[in-house]
Amino acid sequence: MQPEAVELIVLAAAALAFAVAFSPRAASRRELLGKGSVGIVGAAAIAAVPTFDLALFVVLALGVVHSVVEGKRPLALRLRGPVVAVTLLALGAVFARVQGPDVLERLAAVGIVAGLAAAVGVLPYLHPIDPEEQLTSSPVVWLAFVGPVLAAVIVERSQSFLPVDAAGAFGALLIGLGLVNVVWGGAAAWLTESEAAAWRYSFVADWGLVLCGLGLIVADGQRAAILVLFSIVLCRLPLCLVSLEAPREKAVTRRPVNLVVAAALAGSAPFAGFAARLLLLRAATQLFWPLAVVLAAGMLLWLPGSLRLGRSLGLPKGRQAVGVALVLAVNVAVGLYPLPLLLAAHL
């Protein structure tokens, strides 16, 4: 198993432990543990299987299982994302493996990047959401729980069969798609009416940074990607859970805790997102400095959306207050000293 994938599985397990420990309702805790364990096993299987093609079968199986979990969205909507992802990834693999002109290699890169976007649920393949739906059956599972492992595996395994000439197109497509997601996700998290949709778009914006990091072939880009994935799994996901799990108990407030949470979500210093953004800007500067300017401008879009999402937590009390404090502490620790996280991923 590749080290990044192992690390992301451990992070997902930690996020599940957080959800179980700090969920406000006992019934919800049991359900989270059961369904979350299935997700962890699925993510581990994606990373453990030896080939790209076997990973596609695991994604398909996981997609089918997730689509039949009790939820409010129709089956067709829930199944489409994983099936379209597997379709595009498989077509990409076919194009990469056949002999022929260069255009087939570029089509392979398009298929794999589009398949990755469809699997995770970022633009242009946003999975529809239902604000009333539970987190276990919502698209957030793909965005923040299984998606990070899947992205690490797909990007690493596709290098084994993508021709060298297609690697440039692959990176450029990742960066282009990443920028679109940064801008769209950041603006939509700020402007959309629904709170659940705002959380979803904030994940999309973070994924934009991940895609840019994965597309920048220098080491700092990969390091930035793993740090943003960390902040998705162990910052945004737990805070989203706290915000959405107790809708009747919260009121929109502007207390100091809301500002601190907003700072963590926006990737301000000293949280983990800040280190990720610095590394990403450094990587972009090494490769093509105007890209760093565009990324820096895009990063400003996190501020209004994060302030809104920070306020949506209300005033956490009891068990949830402990959970929020723990998330913030872990993110400060990783933001100040990210080296162990990067070393564990061999980056």
Partner 1 sequence: MVEAAAAFVAWLGASVVVLSDGRRGLALGVALGAAGIAVIALDVAGPIAAGSIALGGLVAAAGRLGSGREGWHIMPAGSTPRLVLCIAAGLLALWVAAGVATGPGAPLRFTAMVVIGLSGARVLGGEDAPVLFTATGLLALSVALAAGTGLNAPEPWPFLAAAILAGSIAWISPRPVRAA
Question: Measured between alpha carbons, how far is 101 from 106 in angstroms, rounded to an integer?
Answer: 9
Interaction between residue 60 and partner 1 (CB under 8 A)? yes
Interaction between residue 87 and partner 1 (CB under 8 A)? yes
Q: Are 89 and 56 in contact (CB under 8 A)?
A: yes
Interaction between residue 57 and partner 1 (CB under 8 A)? yes
Judged by CB under 8 A, the stretch of 71-79, 168-176, 188-196, 281-289 that binds partner 1 is 71-79
Nearest to residue 85, comparing CAs of 113, 51, 50?
Answer: 113
Question: Measured between alpha carbons, how far is 83 from 161 in angstroms, rounded to an integer?
Answer: 22
Nearest to residue 14, comparing CAs of 168, 232, 169?
Answer: 232
The correct pick among 56, 154, 226, 301 for binding partner 1 (CB under 8 A) is 56
Interaction between residue 101 and partner 1 (CB under 8 A)? yes
Interaction between residue 84 and partner 1 (CB under 8 A)? yes
Interaction between residue 67 and partner 1 (CB under 8 A)? yes
The correct pick among 27, 100, 251, 318 for binding partner 1 (CB under 8 A) is 100
Tracing tokens 């604000």 back to the chain, one arrives at 131
Question: Measured between alpha carbons, how far is 80 from 70 in angstroms, rounded to an integer?
Answer: 16
What six digits make up the tokens of 201?
A: 């778009």
Number of residues that this document lists for the chain: 347
Judged by CB under 8 A, the stretch of 46-54, 209-217, 232-240, 316-324 that binds partner 1 is 46-54
The correct pick among 10, 17, 21, 68 for binding partner 1 (CB under 8 A) is 68
Interaction between residue 53 and partner 1 (CB under 8 A)? yes
The correct pick among 64, 172, 183, 197 for binding partner 1 (CB under 8 A) is 64
Q: Which is nearer to partner 1, 101 or 256 (CB)?
A: 101
Site for partner 1 in 102-141 (CB under 8 A): 103-104, 130, 132
CB of residue 157 to partner 1, shortest distance in Å: 12
CB of residue 111 to partner 1, shortest distance in Å: 10
The correct pick among 29, 80, 255, 282 for binding partner 1 (CB under 8 A) is 80
Q: Is the previous residue joined to 270 through a cis bond, with omega within 30 degrees of 0?
A: yes
Tracing tokens 């994940």 back to the chain, one arrives at 203
List all residues 6 or more positions away from 34 whose beta carbon is below 8 Å from its beta carbon. Answer: none
Interaction between residue 72 and partner 1 (CB under 8 A)? yes
Cα dihedral sign, 224-196-60-170: negative
What six digits make up the tokens of 296?
A: 């820096």
Upper half-sphere CA count for residue 68 (Cβ side, 13 Å) = 5
CB of residue 79 to partner 1, shortest distance in Å: 5
Judged by CB under 8 A, the stretch of 77-85, 149-157, 261-269, 293-301 that binds partner 1 is 77-85
List all residues 6 or more positions away from 66 whose beta carbon is below 8 Å from its beta carbon. Answer: 78, 82, 137, 141, 142
**Interface residues toward partner 1, by CB under 8 A:** 51, 53-54, 56-57, 60-61, 64, 67-68, 70-76, 79-80, 83-84, 86-88, 90-91, 93-94, 96-101, 103-104, 130, 132, 161
